[in-house]
Amino acid sequence: MEYTTLGSTDIKISRISLGTWQFSDAWGLKDYSIAKSIIAKALDVGINFIDTAMIYGRGLSEEFIGRALKELNAKREDLVIATKIPGEYLSSGDIFKAIDRSLRRLQVDYIDLLLVHWPPCWHNIPTCSYMRALERVVILGKVNFLGLSDYPVELAESARTCLSRVDIEALQVRFNLVERWAEVEHIPYAEENNMTLMAWSPLGKGALTGKYTIEDTQKLADLRVNEPLFHPDNYKKILELVEVVRGVARRYNKTTAQVVLNWLVTYSDIIVPIAGAKSPGQVEENAGAVDWRLSYEDWRLIDDYAKSIRITYVL
């Protein structure tokens, strides 16, 4: 496994993070034995950076992680656990309540990285009010570092001005070969400020793996039922890109998914893809996306073709 550091810290994190949204109703993986095998495989291949959220499965994801890590006798000091607090939980009283519950579910004494999942846009909680409360939790020792998920750069900058003793160490945004708005502002901002950029949906919820035919996409029964990337107007274009990626993958003896993930880590040394998995085999495949690099020519070949694709969300 390849490693980097979290933001401006000296904390070692794997270049591939294990995403755990799948431990939920949204993705349908609610069998603890399978979840444990996925986490076990992640540890086995050297993934030490685990991403979850308080709302994944209404806490089920955190519960599975906490239980599995205990049963696997994982060393707490070797792990970097990131969880996310949703915008609805950002009143000053709810922040402490939510974090206490998260700690119990995860069965840990502290959270390594706590990200605000999205701004409190429905409740209008003032930015400095919740950011200062989050900073207080860091000072009190229950959270080590802070991050922001799905924040525009303008609001991220505003949130940082509210902090007096800590800074934002990670931004989490949607970024993959065909959904690339992050490269306009977020990536340059993160690079300038020495932040880790955690790329969620790095495989486009599976669309960029080439695993599905257009007919297959009509049978999806999880949250991808309404995913625009799988709409025929978009997916036909994606399948053409997948063929280009497959051609590159054959030259490296890698899978399509591995090349797509490697394209991301080659893009910038601050990018850490959050790769979910529904089986130990998928974890192992994701781990094989690092410790090597695409050539400049192959990176450019994929990049040029991907840039020609325009995804529409108006369907």
In single-letter form, the type of residue at position 20 comes to T
Closest by CA to 147, choosing from 99, 206, 196, 182, is: 196
Q: How confident is the model at residue 213 (pLDDT cuts 50, 70, 90)?
A: confident
Backbone angles phi, psi at 76, to 5 degrees: -55, -40
Q: Outline where 86-205 has alpha helix (H).
A: 92-106, 127-139, 153-161, 186-192
Question: Rounded to whole angstroms, how far apart are CA atoms 307 and 249?
Answer: 19
pLDDT digits (tens, 9 = 90+) for 118-162: 999 899 999 999 999 999 999 999 999 999 999 999 999 999 999
Instruction: Grade residue 218 by pLDDT with cuts at 50, 70 and 90.
Output: confident
Which pLDDT does position 258 carry in this prediction? 98
> Are the C-beta atoms of residues 288 and 260 closer than 8 Å to each other?
no
Sign of CA dihedral 251, 252, 253, 256: negative
Question: What was the pLDDT predicted at 120?
Answer: 95
Instruction: Name residue 260's amino acid.
Output: V
Rg (CA), the chain: 19
83-120: pLDDT as tens digits: 999 999 999 889 999 999 999 999 999 999 999 999 99
| Annotated catalytic residue within 56, 89, 151, 212 | 56
Please provide the DSSP assignment of 25-86 as one string: TTTT---HHHHHHHHHHHHHTT--EEE--TTGGGGHHHHHHHHHHHHTT--GGG-EEEEEE-
Q: Note if 56 is an active site residue.
A: yes
The pLDDT score that the predictor gives to residue 28 is 77
* pLDDT(269) > 90: yes
Averaged pLDDT of the chain? 95
Note the pLDDT of residue 240. 95
pLDDT tier for residue 212 given thresholds of 50, 70 and 90: confident
More confident residue, 38 or 220: 38
Per-domain residue ranges of the chain: 3-205+255-291
The CATH class of 3-205+255-291 is: alpha beta
Phi/psi of residue 238, nearest 5 degrees: -65, -40
* Global pTM exceeds 0.85: yes
66 vs 216: which has the higher pLDDT: 66
Give the model confidence (pLDDT) of 6-33 as tens digits.
Answer: 999 999 999 999 999 999 887 778 899 9
Residue 300's pLDDT is what? Answer: 98
Q: Stretch 167-184: mean pLDDT, rounded?
A: 97
Residue 226: pLDDT above 90?
no
The b/e string for 182-198 (b: 16+ C-beta within 10 A; e otherwise) is: beeebbebbeebebbbb
